[in-house]
Structure 1
Amino acid sequence: MATSDSDALVVRQVRAGNSLAWRQLIERFEGRLLAFVDSRLRDRAASEDVVQETFIGFLTSLPHYDEKRDIEAYLFSIAAHKLTDHLRKQGRRPIDQFGSDDHGRPLDEVPGGARAASSIARSGERRREEERVLSESMGQLVREWLARGDYDRIRCMELLIVKGWANKDAARKLGLTEQAVASYKFQTIARLKDMARRSGMSLDDLNEG
Protein backbone atom coordinates (compact mmCIF):
# COMPACT_ATOMS: atom_id res chain seq x y z
CA MET A 1 0.00 0.00 0.00
CA ALA A 2 1.35 3.43 -0.92
CA THR A 3 2.02 5.95 1.79
CA SER A 4 -0.55 8.71 2.36
CA ASP A 5 0.04 12.38 1.62
CA SER A 6 0.21 13.07 5.37
CA ASP A 7 2.84 10.36 5.85
CA ALA A 8 4.86 11.75 2.96
CA LEU A 9 4.70 15.18 4.60
CA VAL A 10 5.95 13.79 7.91
CA VAL A 11 8.86 12.10 6.13
CA ARG A 12 9.78 15.37 4.41
CA GLN A 13 9.62 17.21 7.74
CA VAL A 14 11.86 14.63 9.41
CA ARG A 15 14.30 14.88 6.51
CA ALA A 16 14.35 18.64 7.10
CA GLY A 17 15.31 18.10 10.74
CA ASN A 18 11.89 18.88 12.27
CA SER A 19 12.13 17.40 15.78
CA LEU A 20 8.36 17.67 16.38
CA ALA A 21 7.64 15.54 13.31
CA TRP A 22 10.23 13.06 14.53
CA ARG A 23 8.56 12.79 17.95
CA GLN A 24 5.15 12.39 16.32
CA LEU A 25 6.45 9.57 14.14
CA ILE A 26 7.89 7.82 17.20
CA GLU A 27 4.66 8.25 19.18
CA ARG A 28 2.61 6.84 16.33
CA PHE A 29 4.58 3.66 15.68
CA GLU A 30 6.60 2.91 18.82
CA GLY A 31 3.87 0.88 20.57
CA ARG A 32 3.15 -1.33 17.59
CA LEU A 33 6.82 -1.93 16.88
CA LEU A 34 7.50 -2.78 20.51
CA ALA A 35 4.64 -5.29 20.58
CA PHE A 36 5.97 -6.90 17.40
CA VAL A 37 9.56 -7.20 18.65
CA ASP A 38 8.69 -8.21 22.23
CA SER A 39 6.40 -10.98 21.00
CA ARG A 40 9.54 -12.58 19.58
CA LEU A 41 12.23 -11.66 22.12
CA ARG A 42 10.16 -11.84 25.33
CA ASP A 43 12.65 -9.39 26.81
CA ARG A 44 11.23 -5.90 27.32
CA ALA A 45 14.52 -4.06 27.74
CA ALA A 46 16.10 -5.73 24.69
CA SER A 47 12.93 -5.13 22.69
CA GLU A 48 12.99 -1.41 23.54
CA ASP A 49 16.60 -1.24 22.35
CA VAL A 50 15.70 -2.96 19.07
CA VAL A 51 12.85 -0.49 18.53
CA GLN A 52 15.20 2.44 19.17
CA GLU A 53 17.61 0.97 16.62
CA THR A 54 14.68 0.64 14.22
CA PHE A 55 14.00 4.37 14.38
CA ILE A 56 17.69 5.16 13.97
CA GLY A 57 17.79 2.75 11.02
CA PHE A 58 14.83 4.59 9.51
CA LEU A 59 16.64 7.90 9.97
CA THR A 60 19.79 6.51 8.36
CA SER A 61 17.87 5.13 5.40
CA LEU A 62 15.89 8.32 4.68
CA PRO A 63 18.05 9.25 1.65
CA HIS A 64 16.89 5.99 0.03
CA TYR A 65 13.28 6.00 1.21
CA ASP A 66 10.67 6.01 -1.54
CA GLU A 67 7.74 8.13 -0.38
CA LYS A 68 5.39 5.93 -2.40
CA ARG A 69 6.08 3.06 -0.03
CA ASP A 70 3.85 2.52 3.01
CA ILE A 71 5.74 3.95 5.98
CA GLU A 72 4.39 1.41 8.48
CA ALA A 73 5.41 -1.54 6.31
CA TYR A 74 8.82 0.05 5.88
CA LEU A 75 9.33 0.50 9.64
CA PHE A 76 8.26 -3.08 10.35
CA SER A 77 10.69 -4.28 7.67
CA ILE A 78 13.52 -2.44 9.41
CA ALA A 79 12.39 -3.80 12.79
CA ALA A 80 12.47 -7.36 11.46
CA HIS A 81 16.01 -6.87 10.21
CA LYS A 82 17.17 -5.24 13.44
CA LEU A 83 15.58 -8.11 15.36
CA THR A 84 17.50 -10.59 13.24
CA ASP A 85 20.74 -8.69 13.82
CA HIS A 86 20.09 -8.70 17.58
CA LEU A 87 19.53 -12.47 17.62
CA ARG A 88 22.68 -13.08 15.61
CA LYS A 89 24.76 -10.99 18.01
CA GLN A 90 23.43 -13.16 20.83
CA GLY A 91 24.36 -16.31 18.95
CA ARG A 92 20.71 -17.25 18.61
CA ARG A 93 19.10 -18.57 15.46
CA PRO A 94 17.66 -15.64 13.48
CA ILE A 95 13.93 -15.69 12.92
CA ASP A 96 14.42 -14.40 9.38
CA GLN A 97 17.36 -14.99 7.11
CA PHE A 98 18.22 -11.38 6.47
CA GLY A 99 19.82 -8.39 8.13
CA SER A 100 20.73 -4.77 7.55
CA ASP A 101 23.23 -3.59 4.99
CA ASP A 102 26.27 -1.44 5.79
CA HIS A 103 24.19 1.74 5.65
CA GLY A 104 21.32 0.62 7.90
CA ARG A 105 18.99 -0.17 4.99
CA PRO A 106 16.86 -3.34 4.95
CA LEU A 107 18.34 -5.78 2.47
CA ASP A 108 15.09 -5.88 0.52
CA GLU A 109 15.85 -2.27 -0.39
CA VAL A 110 19.24 -3.21 -1.83
CA PRO A 111 19.61 -4.65 -5.35
CA GLY A 112 20.98 -8.16 -4.98
CA GLY A 113 19.94 -8.48 -1.34
CA ALA A 114 22.35 -10.11 1.08
CA ARG A 115 24.97 -10.72 -1.58
CA ALA A 116 25.13 -7.00 -2.39
CA ALA A 117 25.36 -6.09 1.29
CA SER A 118 28.10 -8.63 1.99
CA SER A 119 30.16 -7.18 -0.85
CA ILE A 120 30.33 -3.77 0.86
CA ALA A 121 33.65 -3.59 2.66
CA ARG A 122 35.53 -0.52 3.77
CA SER A 123 39.28 -0.42 4.10
CA GLY A 124 40.88 0.19 7.49
CA GLU A 125 42.18 3.51 6.21
CA ARG A 126 38.72 4.67 5.19
CA ARG A 127 37.30 3.60 8.54
CA ARG A 128 39.99 5.55 10.39
CA GLU A 129 39.25 8.64 8.31
CA GLU A 130 35.56 8.36 9.17
CA GLU A 131 36.39 8.02 12.86
CA ARG A 132 38.65 11.07 12.69
CA VAL A 133 36.00 13.24 11.03
CA LEU A 134 33.29 12.08 13.43
CA SER A 135 35.52 12.64 16.45
CA GLU A 136 36.38 16.18 15.35
CA SER A 137 32.73 16.93 14.53
CA MET A 138 31.56 15.63 17.89
CA GLY A 139 34.17 17.76 19.63
CA GLN A 140 32.89 20.82 17.79
CA LEU A 141 29.31 20.06 18.83
CA VAL A 142 30.32 19.67 22.47
CA ARG A 143 32.07 23.04 22.35
CA GLU A 144 28.94 24.63 20.91
CA TRP A 145 26.77 23.11 23.63
CA LEU A 146 29.17 24.26 26.34
CA ALA A 147 29.18 27.78 24.93
CA ARG A 148 25.42 28.06 25.26
CA GLY A 149 25.19 26.13 28.53
CA ASP A 150 23.27 23.20 27.05
CA TYR A 151 24.40 20.80 29.77
CA ASP A 152 21.40 18.45 29.56
CA ARG A 153 22.28 17.69 25.95
CA ILE A 154 25.93 17.11 26.82
CA ARG A 155 25.10 14.74 29.68
CA CYS A 156 22.53 12.97 27.54
CA MET A 157 24.90 12.32 24.65
CA GLU A 158 27.64 11.24 27.05
CA LEU A 159 25.35 8.54 28.42
CA LEU A 160 24.15 7.45 24.97
CA ILE A 161 27.40 7.59 23.02
CA VAL A 162 30.20 7.18 25.55
CA LYS A 163 28.53 4.80 27.99
CA GLY A 164 26.17 3.16 25.53
CA TRP A 165 23.06 3.56 27.68
CA ALA A 166 19.58 2.93 26.30
CA ASN A 167 17.35 5.96 25.77
CA LYS A 168 15.02 5.02 28.61
CA ASP A 169 17.90 4.65 31.08
CA ALA A 170 19.39 8.00 30.10
CA ALA A 171 15.98 9.64 30.42
CA ARG A 172 15.50 8.19 33.91
CA LYS A 173 18.98 9.23 35.02
CA LEU A 174 18.62 12.81 33.75
CA GLY A 175 14.97 13.32 34.65
CA LEU A 176 14.01 13.79 30.99
CA THR A 177 11.31 12.20 28.87
CA GLU A 178 12.33 9.45 26.48
CA GLN A 179 11.02 11.65 23.67
CA ALA A 180 13.43 14.42 24.71
CA VAL A 181 16.33 11.97 24.72
CA ALA A 182 15.31 10.59 21.31
CA SER A 183 15.10 14.16 20.01
CA TYR A 184 18.61 14.97 21.29
CA LYS A 185 19.89 11.81 19.63
CA PHE A 186 18.16 12.56 16.34
CA GLN A 187 19.40 16.15 16.23
CA THR A 188 22.96 15.12 17.05
CA ILE A 189 23.06 12.44 14.36
CA ALA A 190 21.61 14.86 11.83
CA ARG A 191 24.27 17.46 12.70
CA LEU A 192 27.08 14.90 12.50
CA LYS A 193 25.89 13.75 9.09
CA ASP A 194 25.72 17.33 7.84
CA MET A 195 29.21 18.12 9.17
CA ALA A 196 30.56 14.95 7.58
CA ARG A 197 29.09 15.90 4.21
CA ARG A 198 30.69 19.33 4.43
CA SER A 199 34.00 17.58 5.12
CA GLY A 200 33.68 15.70 1.85
CA MET A 201 32.37 12.44 3.31
CA SER A 202 29.32 10.90 1.71
CA LEU A 203 26.20 10.71 3.87
CA ASP A 204 25.98 6.99 3.12
CA ASP A 205 29.46 6.44 4.53
CA LEU A 206 28.20 7.04 8.05
CA ASN A 207 27.28 3.99 10.08
CA GLU A 208 25.00 4.32 13.10
CA GLY A 209 26.19 1.04 14.54
Structure 2
Amino acid sequence: MLTIWGRLNSHNVKKVAWLAEEIGLPYVRHDVGGAFGMDAAYLAKNPNALIPTIEDEGLILWESNVILRYLAARHAPDLWPADPAARAIGDRWMDWQFGYADVQRGLFLNRVRRAPEARDPAEAERATIACGEQMAILDAALAERPWLSGEAFGIGDIPMGVYTHTYFTLADTRPPLPHVTDWYGRLKARPGYAATVMIPLT
Protein backbone atom coordinates (compact mmCIF):
# COMPACT_ATOMS: atom_id res chain seq x y z
CA MET A 1 0.00 0.00 0.00
CA LEU A 2 1.15 3.53 -0.76
CA THR A 3 2.26 5.55 2.27
CA ILE A 4 2.24 9.35 2.14
CA TRP A 5 3.95 11.48 4.76
CA GLY A 6 2.78 15.09 4.95
CA ARG A 7 0.04 17.31 6.38
CA LEU A 8 -2.91 17.77 4.01
CA ASN A 9 -2.94 21.58 4.31
CA SER A 10 0.25 21.60 2.23
CA HIS A 11 -0.24 22.34 -1.47
CA ASN A 12 2.37 19.75 -2.38
CA VAL A 13 0.80 17.03 -0.26
CA LYS A 14 -2.62 17.80 -1.74
CA LYS A 15 -1.23 17.04 -5.20
CA VAL A 16 -0.21 13.52 -4.23
CA ALA A 17 -3.30 12.71 -2.18
CA TRP A 18 -5.55 13.98 -4.99
CA LEU A 19 -3.87 11.72 -7.54
CA ALA A 20 -4.20 8.71 -5.23
CA GLU A 21 -7.91 9.48 -4.79
CA GLU A 22 -8.29 10.14 -8.51
CA ILE A 23 -7.02 6.70 -9.52
CA GLY A 24 -8.45 4.76 -6.59
CA LEU A 25 -5.02 3.86 -5.23
CA PRO A 26 -5.22 2.72 -1.59
CA TYR A 27 -2.97 4.74 0.68
CA VAL A 28 -2.33 5.72 4.25
CA ARG A 29 -1.22 9.25 5.10
CA HIS A 30 0.69 10.41 8.17
CA ASP A 31 0.70 14.04 9.32
CA VAL A 32 4.22 15.45 9.10
CA GLY A 33 5.52 19.00 8.87
CA GLY A 34 4.32 22.31 10.22
CA ALA A 35 2.70 21.91 13.62
CA PHE A 36 3.28 18.15 13.44
CA GLY A 37 7.06 18.44 13.18
CA MET A 38 9.52 15.96 11.70
CA ASP A 39 11.25 13.25 13.65
CA ALA A 40 14.56 11.54 12.92
CA ALA A 41 12.83 8.63 11.20
CA TYR A 42 11.20 11.00 8.71
CA LEU A 43 14.39 12.96 8.10
CA ALA A 44 16.15 9.70 7.34
CA LYS A 45 13.67 9.25 4.49
CA ASN A 46 13.82 12.87 3.29
CA PRO A 47 16.94 14.78 4.37
CA ASN A 48 15.55 17.96 2.76
CA ALA A 49 13.08 18.33 5.67
CA LEU A 50 10.23 18.96 3.23
CA ILE A 51 6.93 17.27 2.45
CA PRO A 52 5.60 15.08 0.95
CA THR A 53 7.52 11.83 0.95
CA ILE A 54 6.06 8.53 -0.20
CA GLU A 55 6.89 4.86 0.04
CA ASP A 56 5.50 2.58 -2.65
CA GLU A 57 6.52 -1.07 -2.77
CA GLY A 58 9.78 -0.28 -1.06
CA LEU A 59 10.62 2.85 -3.05
CA ILE A 60 11.10 6.04 -1.00
CA LEU A 61 10.51 9.15 -3.09
CA TRP A 62 10.21 12.89 -2.53
CA GLU A 63 9.51 15.98 -4.70
CA SER A 64 5.78 16.25 -5.33
CA ASN A 65 5.77 16.50 -9.13
CA VAL A 66 8.24 13.64 -9.42
CA ILE A 67 5.90 11.60 -7.23
CA LEU A 68 2.99 12.44 -9.55
CA ARG A 69 4.95 11.25 -12.59
CA TYR A 70 6.04 8.08 -10.85
CA LEU A 71 2.57 7.16 -9.59
CA ALA A 72 0.97 7.84 -12.96
CA ALA A 73 3.60 5.82 -14.84
CA ARG A 74 3.24 2.90 -12.44
CA HIS A 75 -0.46 2.93 -11.61
CA ALA A 76 -2.32 5.14 -14.12
CA PRO A 77 -0.41 5.46 -17.42
CA ASP A 78 -3.47 6.94 -19.14
CA LEU A 79 -2.86 10.11 -17.09
CA TRP A 80 0.71 10.55 -18.38
CA PRO A 81 1.01 9.66 -22.08
CA ALA A 82 3.85 7.49 -23.34
CA ASP A 83 4.38 9.72 -26.38
CA PRO A 84 7.04 12.30 -25.45
CA ALA A 85 5.35 15.16 -27.30
CA ALA A 86 1.94 14.49 -25.73
CA ARG A 87 3.56 14.08 -22.32
CA ALA A 88 5.42 17.38 -22.62
CA ILE A 89 2.17 19.35 -23.04
CA GLY A 90 1.22 18.63 -19.44
CA ASP A 91 4.75 18.47 -18.07
CA ARG A 92 5.45 22.10 -18.90
CA TRP A 93 2.53 23.24 -16.74
CA MET A 94 3.71 21.02 -13.90
CA ASP A 95 7.05 22.84 -13.87
CA TRP A 96 5.45 26.25 -14.59
CA GLN A 97 3.60 25.84 -11.30
CA PHE A 98 6.80 26.32 -9.30
CA GLY A 99 7.17 29.87 -10.58
CA TYR A 100 3.49 30.55 -9.99
CA ALA A 101 3.80 29.34 -6.38
CA ASP A 102 6.44 31.99 -5.74
CA VAL A 103 4.03 34.67 -7.01
CA GLN A 104 1.11 33.40 -4.91
CA ARG A 105 3.10 33.06 -1.69
CA GLY A 106 2.56 36.67 -0.59
CA LEU A 107 -1.19 36.33 -1.02
CA PHE A 108 -1.37 33.05 0.91
CA LEU A 109 0.84 34.17 3.77
CA ASN A 110 -1.02 37.43 4.30
CA ARG A 111 -4.52 35.99 4.02
CA VAL A 112 -4.01 32.65 5.78
CA ARG A 113 -0.72 31.90 7.53
CA ARG A 114 0.27 35.13 9.27
CA ALA A 115 -1.40 36.43 12.39
CA PRO A 116 -3.62 39.45 11.60
CA GLU A 117 -1.24 41.90 13.23
CA ALA A 118 1.66 40.63 11.11
CA ARG A 119 -0.12 40.86 7.76
CA ASP A 120 0.95 43.26 5.01
CA PRO A 121 -2.10 44.32 2.96
CA ALA A 122 0.07 46.01 0.33
CA GLU A 123 2.05 42.83 -0.21
CA ALA A 124 -1.19 40.85 -0.49
CA GLU A 125 -2.51 43.30 -3.07
CA ARG A 126 0.68 43.13 -5.13
CA ALA A 127 0.54 39.35 -5.05
CA THR A 128 -3.13 39.37 -6.06
CA ILE A 129 -2.34 41.47 -9.13
CA ALA A 130 0.69 39.34 -10.03
CA CYS A 131 -1.34 36.14 -9.66
CA GLY A 132 -3.99 37.54 -11.98
CA GLU A 133 -1.34 38.25 -14.60
CA GLN A 134 -0.08 34.68 -14.37
CA MET A 135 -3.61 33.29 -14.44
CA ALA A 136 -4.18 35.18 -17.69
CA ILE A 137 -1.39 33.10 -19.22
CA LEU A 138 -3.14 29.96 -17.99
CA ASP A 139 -6.43 31.24 -19.40
CA ALA A 140 -4.91 31.68 -22.85
CA ALA A 141 -3.60 28.10 -22.78
CA LEU A 142 -6.98 26.72 -21.73
CA ALA A 143 -8.61 28.63 -24.60
CA GLU A 144 -6.70 26.29 -26.93
CA ARG A 145 -7.18 22.97 -25.10
CA PRO A 146 -9.73 21.89 -22.49
CA TRP A 147 -7.08 20.60 -20.08
CA LEU A 148 -3.53 21.60 -19.26
CA SER A 149 -2.62 18.02 -20.14
CA GLY A 150 -4.18 18.32 -23.60
CA GLU A 151 -7.47 16.90 -24.75
CA ALA A 152 -8.08 14.90 -21.57
CA PHE A 153 -7.43 15.30 -17.86
CA GLY A 154 -3.97 14.19 -16.78
CA ILE A 155 -1.33 14.81 -14.17
CA GLY A 156 -0.42 18.07 -15.91
CA ASP A 157 -3.65 19.50 -14.45
CA ILE A 158 -2.90 18.57 -10.86
CA PRO A 159 -0.25 21.06 -9.65
CA MET A 160 -1.98 24.18 -10.97
CA GLY A 161 -5.35 22.67 -10.06
CA VAL A 162 -4.28 22.79 -6.41
CA TYR A 163 -2.99 26.36 -6.63
CA THR A 164 -6.00 27.57 -8.60
CA HIS A 165 -8.33 26.62 -5.74
CA THR A 166 -6.26 28.79 -3.42
CA TYR A 167 -6.30 31.66 -5.90
CA PHE A 168 -10.07 31.56 -6.35
CA THR A 169 -10.55 31.31 -2.59
CA LEU A 170 -8.27 34.21 -1.64
CA ALA A 171 -8.11 36.69 -4.52
CA ASP A 172 -10.81 39.30 -3.89
CA THR A 173 -10.31 40.82 -7.33
CA ARG A 174 -9.61 38.83 -10.49
CA PRO A 175 -9.31 39.65 -14.18
CA PRO A 176 -11.76 37.96 -16.55
CA LEU A 177 -10.67 34.32 -16.71
CA PRO A 178 -13.44 32.46 -18.56
CA HIS A 179 -11.38 29.43 -19.53
CA VAL A 180 -9.70 29.04 -16.15
CA THR A 181 -13.11 29.42 -14.49
CA ASP A 182 -14.59 26.69 -16.69
CA TRP A 183 -11.61 24.38 -16.04
CA TYR A 184 -11.80 25.05 -12.30
CA GLY A 185 -15.50 24.19 -12.36
CA ARG A 186 -14.72 20.85 -14.00
CA LEU A 187 -12.01 20.14 -11.43
CA LYS A 188 -14.43 20.84 -8.57
CA ALA A 189 -16.76 18.17 -9.97
CA ARG A 190 -14.07 15.50 -9.52
CA PRO A 191 -14.54 13.66 -6.19
CA GLY A 192 -10.82 13.39 -5.49
CA TYR A 193 -10.38 17.13 -5.91
CA ALA A 194 -13.26 17.90 -3.58
CA ALA A 195 -11.91 15.51 -0.94
CA THR A 196 -8.28 16.59 -0.89
CA VAL A 197 -8.01 20.10 -2.37
CA MET A 198 -11.25 21.87 -1.47
CA ILE A 199 -10.59 21.86 2.24
CA PRO A 200 -10.18 24.88 4.53
CA LEU A 201 -6.98 26.82 3.91
CA THR A 202 -4.84 26.79 7.02
Query: Would you say same fold, with TM above 0.5?
Result: no
Higher helix share: 1
Higher strand share: 2
- What is the TM-score with the length of structure 1 in the denominator? 0.28
Which protein has greater RCO, CA pairs closer than 8 Å, 6+ apart? 2
